[in-house]
Structure 1
Amino acid sequence: MRKIIAGLFVSLDGVVEDPAAWHLPYFSDEMGAAVTDTLAKADTVLLGRETYDSFAGAWPERETAGGEDAGMAKSLGDARKIVVSRQPLEFTWRNSELLRGDLVEAVTALKNEPGDTHIAMSGSISVVQQLLAAGLLDELRLLVHPVAVRRGRRLFEDGDHPIPFTLVSAETFRTGVQHLVYEVA
């Protein structure tokens, strides 16, 4: 069974919403390598519609431009991109498709498909939350930023049951960002 690994930018107070508003001052080569390790090494990327729209609006142009992140852009373009949305979508970015059917059933089937790598996620807060609740997410790679945003959607909202994790690794970057890797216990 393939693993699903989600990578998220998170503030010290747990906010994951709109990281573009607070995360950029902390971006570094170390963080870029961590993101690349999650996304560029995957042959399949599972995304919510908003995250897909953001990625599709940026990465194809970066690939075409041929700049320093063109390799990452090509990897993302070549990957199978499965988008979770309640509405039909028209895709302009190659290798993109709509997730069909019930989320839990479709992702369970996806995890059972053959593949050479993990299934990667980036952002896509509501999808990550639903997969955690269903026991389908295998690993969280959190980039915890040393800033309290103080408003916005948090990764862990109120719920009925705790979700136990096991810390796999922890690294502190020069910017003060902590890269924490947790397996769902």
Structure 2
Amino acid sequence: MRKLTAGLFIAADGVVESPEQWHFPYFDEEMGAAVGARLAEADTVLLGRATYDTFAEVWPTREDAGGEEGGMAKALGDARKVVVSRSELELTWRNSEQLKGDLVEGVTALKQEDGGPIGMSGSISVVRALLAAGLIDELHLLVHPIAVGRGIRLFEEGVDPIRLKLLSSTAFASGVLNTVYGPADQ
């Protein structure tokens, strides 16, 4: 079965919403390497619609420009991109397709296909649903040393507990913690 990894930027108070408003002061080469390595190993990228829209707007332009981010941009462009949305989408970025039907059934089938690892970046509601269903093999959280104070948190209040096991943790010079969790029962 294919491994599914999800990665999120998260504030120390659990906020994952709008990282573009608080994340960039902490972005450095260490973080870029960690994010890049995780996504580069994936031959399939699973994205929610909003994350797809953001990526499709930015990464093809970066690929065309080449330069420092050209390699990662090309890898993302070449990867199979599976987009989750309840609405019918018109996808413009190459190698993109929409996941049809039930999310859990569709991702279960995707994990059973031949291929390499499946990577996710962002896509909070998709990550929540797949964590609850036990389909995420590794949850990569880049914990930023900031308390945002408002916004969507990764784990909603009132939901059933999701037991996790720490697989690794590395502190970056920026103060960001690169933590990797897996399901507690594995």
* TM-score greater than 0.5 by the shorter chain: yes
Find the counterpart in structure 1 of residue 37 from structure 2: 37
Q: Distance in 1 between matches of 2:14 and 2:170?
A: 18
Equivalence for 1:82: 82
> Structure 1 segments of 4 or more deviating over 4 A?
none
Structure 1 gaps, min length 5? none
Describe how 1:21-36 pairs up with structure 2 within 5 A.
21-36=21-36
Question: Which of 24-33 and 85-94 deviates more?
Answer: 85-94
Query: What percentage of residue pairs aligned between the two structures are identical?
Result: 67
Give the Cα–Cα distance (whole angstroms) in 2 for the partners of residues 160 and 65 of structure 1. Answer: 44
2-side partners of 1:137 and 1:79: how far apart? 19
Distance 1:76 1:40 in 2: 8
Can you give the 5+ residue segments of structure 2 that lack an aligned partner in the other structure? none
Aligned length: 184
Q: Secondary structure at the match of 2:142?
A: strand
CA RMSD after TM alignment: 0.8
What letter matches 1:184 in structure 2? P
Q: How much does 1:138 deviate?
A: 1.1
The aligned residue for residue 17 of structure 1 is 17
What's the CA shift string for 1:111-170, capped at 9, x where partnerless? 00011x210000000000000111111110000000000000000112442111111111
2:166 maps to 1:167: yes
Match for 1:4: what amino acid?
L
Residue 97 (str. 1) matches residue 97 (str. 2)? yes
- 1:122 partner letter: S
* Distance in 1 (alpha carbons) for counterparts of 2:40 and 2:90: 24
Counterpart in the other structure of 2:52: 52
Over residues 60-97 of structure 1, what are the superposed CA-to-partner deviations in whole Å (9 max), with x where a residue is unaligned? 00000011000000000000000001111111110000
**1:58 aligns to what SS in structure 2?**
helix
Name the counterpart of 2:106.
Answer: 106
Task: Give TM-score scaled by structure 1 length.
Answer: 0.98
One-letter amino acid of the structure 2 residue matched with residue 161 of structure 1: D
Q: SS of the residue aligned with 2:68?
A: coil
1:19-45 deviation per Cα after TM superposition (whole angstroms, max 9, x unaligned): 000000000000001101111210000
Counterpart in the other structure of 1:73:
73
